[in-house]
Structure 1
């Protein structure tokens, strides 16, 4: 993944800078997400990855598929990726773009995994506590994983907060060994 991120970073940075210049942050976000979804489709990727199909044919195919869903700048970006052989990086470029966008807009994507479905009150309380402790607005996504036994596991960027029973049991097991 780090190799992909290293190769994708210049493209993500360029897209982000252009989005800032034109004030089209949300538009670029949607365009990149759509293009990444198209290129990650198994049927499309088998055609795109076929060395017998030329770059122009791949470009024409992708532009035909994306025609009403992306704007002219995104189409040019797509052409550039095809010409430079960087199309497989599109999902990573989109993910990096979202990270830059979140930082620029002052929020943080937080993945919360809970042992049980959170009530609306618990969701709001957890969101408020995370905003206070992280010092940023958050965009919280919640998933349920019963293997946690109880509590929550929070991932915010590089930071992980493990408040789960499973995590505590694993810590206790390490201590006892």
Structure 2
């Protein structure tokens, strides 16, 4: 995985620079997300690795409706360098650069049950104060957490779940 990230980094930086200079980051991000979803599918990965597949066919498969010529050229470059499988990593890195440039922190809040909007707003406000940036919150439900919340915001993970507390208590008692 780290090799894929390393190989994807120069492409992601180049795409980010092109999209930023053209003032088209959202469009490029959407196009990359579309292509990455297709490239991440195991069946499509086999199709993309087929030696009979032409560059034009790959571009047609991976380009969203109304994709730009520049995006098609980018896909052609990836095809020629046999880097189409890196699309998910490239898309992830471009999104991370975009959020950094927009000063947005992407956070995932996982709870045992769905949170009321007021609690989610309170968590978002607390994260905004902590990071000094706008926070985009994604929610998930994992019933095994028992209660509380697990917040994953990039390099910061806050485990306030009952399961996490029980695990830490068990570890403390074992030592």
TM-score, with normalisation over the residues of structure 2?
0.94
Kept in 2: contact 1:12–1:93 (CA 8 A): yes
Q: Which secondary structure state, in structure 2, belongs to the residue aligned with residue 116 of structure 1?
A: coil
Question: Contact between 1:31 and 1:69, CA under 8 Å: does it hold in 2?
Answer: no
Which of 51, 55, 58 is residue 59 of structure 1 equivalent to? Answer: 55
The equivalent of 1:112 in structure 2 is 109
Q: Which runs of 5+ in 1 are unaligned?
A: none
| 1:62 Cα offset (Å) | 2.1
Alignment of 1:135-146 (within 5 A): 135-146=132-143
Aligned length: 173
- For 2:109 and 2:66, locate their aligned partners in 1 and report how far apart those are by CA, in whole Å: 31
| Cα contact 1:114–1:143 (8 A) shared by 2 | yes
TM-score, normalisation: structure 1: 0.93
Q: State the 4+ residue runs in structure 1 displaced beyond 4 angstroms.
A: none
Q: Root-mean-square deviation (CA), in Å?
A: 1.3
| 1:92–1:116 Cα change, 3 Å | same
Q: Unaligned stretches of 5+ in structure 2?
A: none
